[in-house]
Amino acid sequence: MVMVRFAALGDSVTSGYGDPIPGGGWRGWAAILAQALGEKAEFHNLAVSGARIGDVAEKQLPVALDLRPTLASVLIGMNDTLRGDFDPVALGYRLSEMVARLTEGGATVLTARLPDPGRMFGLPGAIARPLGRRMEALNEALDRIAVEYRTLHMDLAGGAYSRNNWSVDRLHPSEVGHRLLAFRFATALRDAGHPVATLPGLAASNPEPTVGQRVWWMATQGNKWLLRRSTDLFPTLARMVYEEIATPQIRNLR
């Protein structure tokens, strides 16, 4: 008998990027959490790298609803903040609709506040500040959804900027980061009365990449990854940076 049917929805963070397994592929926090739920837990990872909120709503949610999960996770939004058509009101509505449908289907839903990509990349202030405001607007929507639907809501921004918790690309958790996220969700589930066989361990089983490996990855792969995720952001970002620089100067002239 299946005690827990867990459907994980989201992007590359939930699909496991940053937590490689021997022989190739990725594991990630959701798989670690599923193992902690016990042998009778049924796990379905629906997350896809590069997914945006609309992708999850249109492609992953219908599959999840057909599975009739008792537990579901919705961790999504980082890719949306890196696009030119970012609209926090519309995105908040779609997120709310997703969580509502999963909750109405009988699932306990896991959600999270997301960290600031500008701080994670260490971007200059004129770029980081407008990106930070985008993330804060999305996080405010996520906070409201968590209250309305009583999700188990984690703050991934809390402690997120420790280098040990993030992989070489600075956008995906390292194995330690994935384990920490699984541990926090498992603890929240246990405290809320849900069955948890054992809390996930926090110690990494794979060696951390060296400084040289980190630099090499950023030089050969990191910029390409950011460009793929931000194909239509740069014209918008240029305007945002101009406004960020120009606004204080305009105020000083008045």
User: Which residue would you say has higher pLDDT here, 171 or 84?
Assistant: 84
Q: How many C-beta atoms surround the C-beta of residue 166 within 10 A?
A: 19
User: What is the largest distance, in Å, between two alpha-carbon atoms of the chain?
Assistant: 71
- The predicted model gives 63-88 an average pLDDT of 93
First to last CA, the chain: 71
Range name among 87-91, 170-174, 178-182 with the lowest pLDDT average: 170-174
- The predicted model gives 8-26 an average pLDDT of 90
C-alpha to C-alpha distance for 112 and 139, rounded to whole angstroms = 8
% pLDDT > 70, the chain: 74
Four-CA torsion 65, 69, 73, 77, nearest 10 degrees: 0
DSSP structural state of residue 210: P
Domains of the chain by start residue, with CATH: 4-253 (3.40.50.1110)
> Would you say residue 21 has pLDDT above 50?
yes
Of 46, 22, 24, 48, which is closest to residue 34 (Cα–Cα)? 46
Beta-carbon contacts of 186 under 8 Å, excluding residues fewer than 6 positions away, are 33, 36, 37, 196, 199, 200
Contact 25, 180 (CB under 8 A): no
C-alpha to C-alpha distance for 39 and 161, rounded to whole angstroms = 33
- The predicted model gives 107-132 an average pLDDT of 81
Cα 176-181-187 angle, rounded to 5 deg? 120
Q: Give the model's pLDDT for residue 199.
A: 97
Q: Give the model's pLDDT for residue 251.
A: 43
Of 228, 211, 226, 91, which is closest to residue 163 (Cα–Cα)? 211
Side-chain-side CA neighbours of residue 34 (13 Å): 23
Q: How far from the centroid of its chain's Cα atoms is residue 44's Cα?
A: 17
Q: Give the model's pLDDT for residue 162.
A: 65
